[in-house]
Amino acid sequence: MEINPVDLKKIEDRGSNIYEAVIVSAAKARAINDQNRLEFNERLSAMAPGIEDDFEDQANPDQLKISLEFEKRSKPHLQGLNGFINGDINYKYKDENEK
C-alpha cells in the first residue's frame, strides 16, 4: 500500500482549522463508505445463489471478482480528504455564530 503525505497548508486553506477539516472529511468518508456498502450488497444480492453443498470453503468466482473490484477502489477516507482539499465538499454550520 502506498503512503502519500498530506500538505497541511492545503487543508488549512480550505477550512478554519485542521480539526474542522478532519470532521468534514470524516463525515464525507462515512457517507462514501455507506454508499459503497449498499452498492456491494446490492450487487451480491443480484447474483444467482450458488448451489448449496457440503464444501463451504469453495470460493464463488463472481463474488471474488466483485470483492476485488471494491478493494481496488480508492479508500473512503482518502476520497473524503481529497474532496475537502479540492473544494468538492460544501459544508455549513448549524448555527452560523459557531464559526
Domain ranges of the chain: 8-45+60-93
pLDDT per residue as tens digits for the range 16-42: 888 989 999 999 999 999 999 999 999
Say if residue 54's pLDDT is above 60: no
Q: Could you count the other beta carbons within 10 Å of the beta carbon of residue 72?
A: 7
Is the pTM higher than 0.85? The answer reads no
The Cα 4–Cα 71 span in angstroms is 18
**Sequence-separated (6 or more) residues with CB below 8 Å from residue 59:** none
Determine the pLDDT at residue 72: 92
Say if residue 14's pLDDT is above 90: no
The per-residue DSSP string of the chain comes to -------HHHHHHHSSSHHHHHHHHHHHHHHHHHHHHHHHHHHHHHSPPPPP-S-TTSPPHHHHHHHHHHHHSPPHHHHHHHHHHHT------SSGGG-
Determine the pLDDT at residue 53: 56
